[in-house]
Amino acid sequence: MTYEEFNATLELHVPPKGLPPLLEALWHDAKGDWHAAHEIAQSQEGTRAYDLLHAYLHRVEGDTWNAGYWYRRAGVSPSDQTLREEWAELVKKWL
């Protein structure tokens, strides 16, 4: 699946079958369902990719302190990108 194809799935009412969990979380986030995305992030805490997702989601929520905690757990510096740019970067990373 390409980035463009992933974006096209945002027209659907449910995520496409077989979508990896990290991408499913970003799909839910793009559709405005932060809680569904957050549940996926919490499902594998301690895994760097999930901790990075968790950081991004707390940034979306506006909780910069908590986002910083999760960025540290993921072993990366907090993003200085816009939320839209970070979302796109994560989608491309996990495709």
pLDDT (tens digit, 9 = 90+) per residue, 11-46?
A: 999 999 999 999 999 999 999 999 999 999 999 999
The domains of the chain are located at 20-94
Q: How many CA atoms lie within 13 A of 15 on its CB side?
A: 20
In terms of DSSP H, where are the helices of the chain?
A: 3-8, 21-30, 34-42, 48-61, 64-74, 83-94
- Provide CATH code, domain 20-94: 1.25.40
CA distance 36 to 95: 19
Percent with pLDDT over 70 in the chain: 100
In 10 A of CB 81, how many CB atoms? 13
Question: Whole-model pTM?
Answer: 0.96
* Amino acid (1-letter code) at residue 21: P
8: three-class secondary structure by DSSP: helix
